[in-house]
């Protein structure tokens, strides 16, 4: 499995929702770096992105931050809709200190 192939799957208009969803999950599980986070953010903000895939993007983004023990609050604050909801839920449950910082900064 390589990142390039997963990106091609995400960008291919003939890819099914199930395949895109799996690609987002695989990216989060296997490529835990800033570049992957930026890709997932971009995918989630695509107007054609289904809510299911946007939700998986949020979960994968949070998963990467939690795994790497590093979070980017600015990027978190720029997530939208279900992507933000999913990311925040995971962070709130697993890193309440991060959630508190986020809340202090943006609420």
Partner 1 sequence: MSKTWSYVPTQNIPATATAVTTEEQNNGSGNQSTVRNSWDYAAGLGREILGLPNLPGSDYSDKSNAFKYGYSVGNRAMPLTLNFEGLRTPVSSAPEFAVGYNGTLAQTVAVDAWKSGYLGSTIINASTNNSNSGDNEADEGSSNPLVKDAGSISKNTENLRTWAQDNGWVQQNTAGGVEQWGVRNADGTFSWRLKLKPEASTREGLGVGSNQPRFDARLDDKGTYINPFTGETGGRGVGTHIPLGE
- Reading the block at residue 79, the tokens are 């997530």
Please enumerate, as own/partner, the contacts of 34-40 that have beta carbons within 8 Å and a separation of 24 or more: 34/72, 36/3, 36/60, 36/64, 37/61, 37/64, 37/65, 37/72, 37/75, 39/7, 39/10
Instruction: Give the shortest CB-42-to-partner 1 separation in angstroms.
Output: 18
Site string for partner 1, 22-51 (x = CB under 8 A): xx-xx-xx--------------------xx
Binding segment for partner 1 among 1-9, 38-46, 68-76 (CB under 8 A)? 1-9
CA 80/CA 84 separation, integer angstroms? 5
Instruction: Give the shortest CB-107-to-partner 1 separation in angstroms.
Output: 15
Kindly report the number of other CB atoms within 10 A of residue 40's CB atom.
28
Footprint (CB under 8 A) of partner 1, residues 47-106: 50-53, 55, 59, 63, 81-82, 85-86, 89-90, 92-94, 96-97, 100
Instruction: Give the shortest CB-15-to-partner 1 separation in angstroms.
Output: 7
Instruction: Give the shortest CB-71-to-partner 1 separation in angstroms.
Output: 14
């Amino acid at each position: 499995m390589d990142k390039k192939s997963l990106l091609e799957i995400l960008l291919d208009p003939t890819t099914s929702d199930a395949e895109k969803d799996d690609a987002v999950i695989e990216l989060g599980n296997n490529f835990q770096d800033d570049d992957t986070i930026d890709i997932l953010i971009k995918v989630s903000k695509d107007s054609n992105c289904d809510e299911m895939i946007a939700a998986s993007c949020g979960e994968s983004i949070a998963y990467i931050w939690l795994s790497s023990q590093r979070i980017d609050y600015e990027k978190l604050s720029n997530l939208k809709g279900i992507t933000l909801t999913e990311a925040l839920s995971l962070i709130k449950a697993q890193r309440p200190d991060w959630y508190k910082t986020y809340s202090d900064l943006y609420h």
